[in-house]
Amino acid sequence: DKGGHKHFMAKEIAEQPTVLGEAIRHYLPNDGTQICLPGGDLDFSKVKRLVMVACGTASYACLTAKYWFEQIAGIPVEVDVASEFRYREPPITEGTVALFVSQSGETADTLAALRYCSGKADRIVSVINVPESSIARESDLALPILAGAEIGVASTKAFTCQLSVLLILALKAAQDRGQLGAEELNQHLCDLRALPGLINQAIGSESKISQVAAKLAETRDILFLGRGRMFPLALEGALKLKEISYIHAEAYASGELKHGPIALIDQHVPVVVLAPHDELYDKSISNMQEVMARAGKVLLITDAKGLKDGAEGTWDTIQMPQVSDILSPILYAIPAQLLAYHTAVAKGTDVDQPRNLAKSVTVE
Ligand code: F6R
């Protein structure tokens, strides 16, 4: 049942304020001022290293979480795609927690990576959407993302729910390790509780995003740029777009632009710049100006402050609500998803069942 939407993907994008709210309440129960992991505790105080493994969109959730675990909790994090990790025979040293992220819980490579770590890592933890899945069953601790069934092949609500659970875990880690004062932690939890409302506001930009998407539908190549926490999201935006619209899209860390990709820029290549007005904004804008100086068409996605300081000379802009820095990757997932969705709709491709793709990849 598409609930009145044209596609499951549209329904699942629209559901995000609700399912995120449920996921957040699950881990911040009652008055929402304490983090709790129903189903088993995980004490980060002695953890020396976190190894995170996943495929596709779930691996981008891990990459985003690396910024959180390292910056907020001070834990060294390694992220790898499961197909590489499983055959590399990476040493799993003492004090390592291995964390696997999978919507289906059945992805063959991720399961094999989990089995490799089993007996070697201190704990096997998974962040999954299907509690009965193989990955959940073979973990010491399985944390549900509570996104509900995801039917569209392109992952949307599972991604933002994965991010929310991983952020809560990073905040818990920071708390266990004494890296966050009570006041700071309270502020973060308060911001998290307000997130579903902001996601709802972001979805409110849908008609503007669909106008931009109609222009993108005519292009062959699109680049996505982001810095810091926005870099994994640039990767996710590019993946989503290529999966369902079949437009070639690539993502780069903004700072890598001048090390090669800038050679691709001309008036035919739209460049999507994800740049909330945070501590890295000025750097992102200066990379954006390098693109515009070479006639590149920039689509700037930012907030009101970011538009005020940086909109000049851009091809188009999308405005997001103001959000606290650590939450920006979750909020900015919405325009990335909607842009891919409406570009695909404008092109008339099969949004829910893109060619050559399967929802659950149970063979390697
Ligand atoms: C992209 C997408 C895939 C999955 C990947 C992992 O939209 O859906 O990249 O994220 O196949 O699947 P799970 O999370 O089920 O392990």
Q: Which residues is 125 bridged to in the sheet?
A: 99, 141
Task: Identify the band that residue 360 occupies on the pLDDT scale cut at 50, 70 and 90.
Answer: confident
User: What is the Å distance from ligand 1's center to 32 Cα?
Assistant: 30
Q: Is the ipTM of this complex over 0.85?
A: yes
CA nearest to 71, candidates 320, 264, 326, 344: 326
pTM greater than 0.90 (yes/no): yes
Task: Identify the band that residue 87 occupies on the pLDDT scale cut at 50, 70 and 90.
Answer: very high
Tokens of 73: 């909790």
Q: Which residue numbers are catalytic?
A: 359
Q: Return left, alpha or beta for 32; rule: phi > 0 is left, psi -120 to 50 is alpha, else beta.
A: left
Tokens of 92: 């799993």
- What pLDDT, in 10s, does the model give residues 287-331? 999 999 999 999 999 999 999 999 999 999 999 999 999 999 999
Residue 41 in this model has a pLDDT that exceeds 90 = no
Residue 122 burial (CB count, 10 A): 18
- What pLDDT, in 10s, does the model give residues 224-245? 999 999 999 999 999 999 999 9
Q: Is 152 in the pocket of ligand 1 (CB under 6 A)?
A: no
Q: Is 337 in the pocket of ligand 1 (CB under 6 A)?
A: no
CA nearest to 112, candidates 135, 143, 142: 135
Q: Is 110 in the pocket of ligand 1 (CB under 6 A)?
A: yes
Measured distance CA(329)–CA(339) in Å, rounded: 15
User: What is the Å distance from ligand 1's center to 351 Cα?
Assistant: 15
Q: Is 104 in the pocket of ligand 1 (CB under 6 A)?
A: yes
Q: Is 55 in the pocket of ligand 1 (CB under 6 A)?
A: yes
DSSP 244-291: HH--EEEEEEGGGGGGTGGGG-STT-EEEEE--SSTTHHHHHHHHHHH
Q: Is 56 in the pocket of ligand 1 (CB under 6 A)?
A: yes
User: What is the Å distance from ligand 1's center to 175 Cα?
Assistant: 30
Residue in 12, 13, 103, 150 to alter for ligand 1 test, most ligand atoms within 8 A of Cβ: 103
Amino acid at 133: S
pLDDT, average across residues 26-48: 95
pLDDT, average across residues 163-190: 97
Kindly tell me the sign of the dihedral angle through the C-alpha atoms of 218, 283, 243, 158. Answer: negative
- What pLDDT, in 10s, does the model give residues 324-350? 999 999 999 999 999 999 999 999 998
Ligand 1 atom with minimal separation from the 107 CA: 16
Q: Residue 314: its pLDDT value, please? A: 97
Q: Residue 263: its pLDDT value, please? A: 93
User: What is the Å distance from ligand 1's center to 242 Cα?
Assistant: 14
Ligand 1 atom with minimal separation from the 103 CA: 14
Task: Identify the band that residue 95 occupies on the pLDDT scale cut at 50, 70 and 90.
Answer: very high
Tell me which residue has its CA closest to atom 3 in ligand 1.
Answer: 56
What percent of the chain stands above pLDDT 90? 95
Task: Identify the band that residue 125 occupies on the pLDDT scale cut at 50, 70 and 90.
Answer: very high
Q: Is 107 in the pocket of ligand 1 (CB under 6 A)?
A: yes
User: What is the Å distance from ligand 1's center to 292 Cα?
Assistant: 34
Residues 6+ away with beta carbon under 8 Å from 251:
223, 224, 225, 226, 231, 234, 235, 237, 238, 239
Q: Residue 39: its pLDDT value, please? A: 85
State the DSSP H helix or E strand holding residue 53, giving kind and residue range, or none if neither.
strand 49-54
Amino acid at 222: I
Measured distance CA(13)–CA(347) in Å, rounded: 19
Amino acid at 12: E
User: What is the Å distance from ligand 1's center to 129 Cα?
Assistant: 11
